[in-house]
Amino acid sequence: MKKNILKINKLSINTKVNNEIFLVDNISFSVEEGKTTCIVGESGSGKSLTALSIIRLLSPQLKMTGEILFNNNDICKMSDSEIRQKRGLDIAMIFQEPMTSLNPVLTIGYQIKEAIAVHSVLQKKEIENRVKELLLLVGIPVERVNSYPDELSGGQRQRVMIAMAMSCNPKLLIADEPTTALDVTVQAQILKLLDDLKNKLNMSMLFITHDFGVVEDIADDVIVMFKGKIVERGDVKQVLNKPKHPYTKALLGCVPDALGRKQLTPIDYVKLDKAIQRL
Amino acid sequence: MKKLLETNNLSKTYTQTQGFFSRIKTSIHALDNVSFSINEGTTMAVVGESGSGKSTLAKSLVRLVQLDQGSVTFDGNDLLNLEGESLKSVRKDIQMIFQDPYASLNPRLNILQIMEEPLVIHNLYNADKRQKKIEDFIKRVGLKVSDLKKYPHQFSGGQRQRIGIARALILEPKLVICDEPVSALDVSVQAQILKLLKDLQKEFGLTYLFITHDLRIVRHVADDVMVMRYGKLVEQGKTDIIFKKPKNQYTKDLIQSIPGLISTRN
C-alpha cells in the first residue's frame, strides 16, 4: 500500500518586499513512506528553501503560500508551539556543514542529550543510556561522549549530527547536502549509514543534493528543480537513464562519469531556453 | 616527449606543539619522499583526501612552502635554489589557479587592474600592448571587454573562476597548477570550466598539474594520475590503467567510493 508521509501542494515562496519574485514557484510533490526522495538542482534552484519551509525555518523576510501536509496535518497552519513539537520529534534535519552546525563549547554528549531532553520525560540515567545507544547506532566509539566538536573529524561530526537527528526516531529526515563537505570515502560511509538507518528505523528521507552520483546511490524517487520550478520527477532509473525534460538532459551532460570517457557538454542556455519554450 | 617538471624525494614536515606551553612536539609528514615527473603538454592529476599533502605539494612548486629536502627541476632549472631575478623569471612560467574564486580575487581592484597586475610585476609590454593583451584574454575565457571595468563581487562563481584563469594565463606560463579549480562550482559550471581549461591547453600547449579529490574529474582531464595519502605517493601511472587495474588497496577504496558506482542498497 502506497502511503505518502509528506505531501506538498502548490508551495510558493517569495520575498515580502517584492511579490513578483518567486524563489519557489508553485511546486507540488509528495514523499512516500519508507522511501528516499532526492531533490536535485543547481544553486539558486530553490531546493534548500523547499527543505527549510517544511520545518518552517524560512527567513522572516520570505513568505510562503500553499499547503504542506505532514501525515495530513498542514504545517503552514500550525502555531509556533505546534511546529516546535514536530521539529526533531517527527521531522528532523541535518545540514551541509557539520563544522558550523554544532556548538563548539559543548561536548557532543551534552548536545545529543539536549536533543533528547527537549521531547521526552526520560530520567537522567535513561537519557545517558540513550546517548550511548545513539552513538553506537551511528558508529562513534562511546568513549568519545565527552569530546568537543573540534576534536572530531568532519565525518564524525556529521555522524553526531545524524545521532541528534535520530534521537527521537523521526518519521521524516530532511538531509540538506549532508555529504558535500566530506571526502569521497567518508561520503560513501555516511551515505551507507543513512540508508541503513532509514531501513532499520522505517524512516522516510528527503535528500537534497546537486550530485547525480549521490542520487544514483541513495534515491528511490527524484525531483529535478530549475529556477524554482520542478521540471522533472520520477523513479531514479527513469530520470537518470531516460530523462524527458531538456534541462535534465543538459544537466546530465555536465556530469563527469568514472567509467568511460564521456564527452562533457556544458549547458547551452540559449538552446535550452528555446527547447523549454517549445514544450 | 620532453619532461617539463621533475621532482626527487620531496619532503616536508610540519611540527605542532600540543597546547600553548607544552614542550611535546608532534610532527606531521605533509610530504614524504615524493618523486614524479610531468611531460610537456600533458595533465597530471594529484588525487587524495584532505590532509594527504596535495596542497603542500602545489605550494612547494611555486615556492610558497620551504621544503625540508628534495630537488625540483623545472624546464632545466634547479627550482629550489633559484634566487632573485632568475627566480622571478621562472615564477612567470609557473602560474596557479585557486580553489575559491571568492577569496582569490582582490575585492578592491577592478578586473582590468587584477589582470594588469601580473604584467606590471613582471614588467612586460607597454601600456597599449598590455591593454590589447588583457582584452584578448578576457574574451578568450568567455567574458566581455566591458566586464573589465567591473569588480569581483559583480560576477558569479564561475565567472570569477574564468577571471582567475585569465589572470594566470596572461603571463603565458608553461606550467599551470590548478588547485581544486572546480570543486566550489555547480556541475553545469564545472563542465564549462573543465572544457575551457582543455581548450586552452590545446591552444597554448599548457602543462597542467591538476589537484582534485573528485576521481570522476580525473578521468576526464588527466593523462596521468598520482594518488597521495598521508604525504606519501601510494600509486602513480596512466589514468586508464589506474582506473582499470588499481594495484594499491587505498586506490581501490577511493575508486569504490565514487558516488554512482556503489549502490548502497546492495
B260 and chain A: CB distance < 8 Å anywhere? yes
In a domain, B262, yes or no: no
Write out the three cell numbers for A174: 530532511
- Which residues lie across from B238 on neighbouring strands? B224
**Minimal Cβ distance to B50: which of A42, A183, A254:** A183
Q: How far apart are CA A19 and CA A25, in angstroms?
A: 12
CB pairs under 8 A between A and B: 99
Domains and CATH numbers, chain A: 4-90+170-278 (3.40.50.300)
Question: How confident is the model at residue A261, as a pLDDT?
Answer: 58
- Over residues A4-32, the pLDDT tens digits come to 899 999 999 998 887 788 899 999 999 99
Q: In CATH, what number is assigned to the domain containing residue B205? A: 3.40.50.300
Residues of B (44-83) whose Cβ lies below 8 Å from A: 49-50
Bin B138: left if φ > 0, else alpha if -120 < ψ < 50, else beta.
alpha
Question: Which residue in chain B has the smallest CA separation from A240?
Answer: B260
Which amino acid, one-letter code, is at A31? Answer: V
Question: What's the pLDDT band for B263 if we cut at 50, 70, 90?
Answer: very low
Question: How confident is the model at residue A2, as a pLDDT?
Answer: 74
In a domain, B261, yes or no: no
Determine whether the interchain pair B187/A42 forms a contact, defined as Cβ–Cβ distance below 8 Å.
yes
C-alpha torsion sign, points B37, B165, B99, B188: negative
Give, rounded to a whole angstrom, the gap between the first and last alpha carbons of chain A.
34
Which amino acid, one-letter code, is at A24? Answer: V
Question: Which residue in chain A has the smallest CA separation from B223?
Answer: A261
Residue with cell 520545518: A55
Q: Is B130 strand, coil or helix?
A: helix
Question: Which residue in chain A has the smallest CA separation from B50?
Answer: A183
Q: What is the mean pLDDT of residues B92-104?
A: 87
- Residue B203: phi and psi, rounded to 5, are -65, -45
Domain count, chain B: 1
Q: Which residues of A touch B220 (CB under 8 A)?
A: 256, 261, 264
User: Quick one: which of A177, A155, A175, A154 has its CA closest to A165?
Assistant: A175
Q: Which long-range contacts (CB under 8 A, 24 or more apart) does B193-201 make?
A: B193/B158, B193/B161, B193/B162, B193/B165, B194/A256, B194/A264, B194/B220, B194/B221, B195/A264, B195/A266, B196/B141, B196/B142, B196/B162, B196/B165, B197/B165, B197/B221, B200/B140, B200/B141, B200/B165, B200/B169, B201/B41, B201/B43
Q: Which of A130-139, A257-266, B41-50, B55-64 has the lowest mean pLDDT?
A: A257-266
Q: Which helix (H) or strand (E) holds B225?
A: strand B224-229
Average pLDDT along chain B: 87
Question: How confident is the model at residue B25, as a pLDDT?
Answer: 76
Write out the three cell numbers for B42: 600533458
Which amino acid, one-letter code, is at A273? Answer: D
Determine whether the interchain pair A218/B258 forms a contact, defined as Cβ–Cβ distance below 8 Å.
no
Q: How far apart are CA A87 and CA A90, in angstroms?
A: 6
Is the Cβ–Cβ distance between B147 and B138 less than 8 Å?
A: yes
Q: What is the mean pLDDT of residues B24-49?
A: 88
Q: Which residues of A touch B188 (CB under 8 A)?
A: 42, 250-251, 254, 266-267
**Minimal Cβ distance to A256: which of B188, B220, B264:** B220
Q: 0.90 cut: is pTM over it?
A: no
- With a pLDDT cut of 90, the percent of chain B lying above it is 35
C-alpha to C-alpha distances, B225 to A235, A276, B16, B42, nearest whole angstrom = 36, 40, 31, 11
State the smallest CA–CA distance between residue B71 and chain A in angstroms. Answer: 30
Taking residue B243's Cβ as centre, other Cβ atoms within 10 Å add up to: 19
Q: What is the DSSP letter of B257?
A: T
| Residue ranges making up the domain that contains B98 | 3-256
Question: How confident is the model at residue B182, as a pLDDT?
Answer: 86
B188 and chain A: CB distance < 8 Å anywhere? yes
Determine whether the interchain pair A184/B216 forms a contact, defined as Cβ–Cβ distance below 8 Å.
no
**Does the structure's ipTM exceed the value 0.90?**
no
C-alpha torsion sign, points A19, A21, A23, A26: positive
Strands (E), B1-149: 3-17, 25-39, 43-47, 69-74, 77-78, 94-97
Question: How confident is the model at residue B265, as a pLDDT?
Answer: 40
Between B204 and A268, the higher pLDDT residue: B204
- Over residues B131-183, the pLDDT tens digits come to 999 998 898 888 889 999 999 988 888 888 889 999 999 998 999 999 988 88
Q: Which of A63-72, A203-212, B20-29, B31-40 has the lowest mean pLDDT?
A: B20-29
Question: What's the pLDDT band for B79 if we cut at 50, 70, 90?
Answer: confident
In a domain, B264, yes or no: no
Bin B15: left if φ > 0, else alpha if -120 < ψ < 50, else beta.
beta
Residue ranges, chain A, pLDDT below 70: 1, 259-262
Is the Cβ–Cβ distance between A71 and A5 less than 8 Å?
A: yes
In a domain, B263, yes or no: no
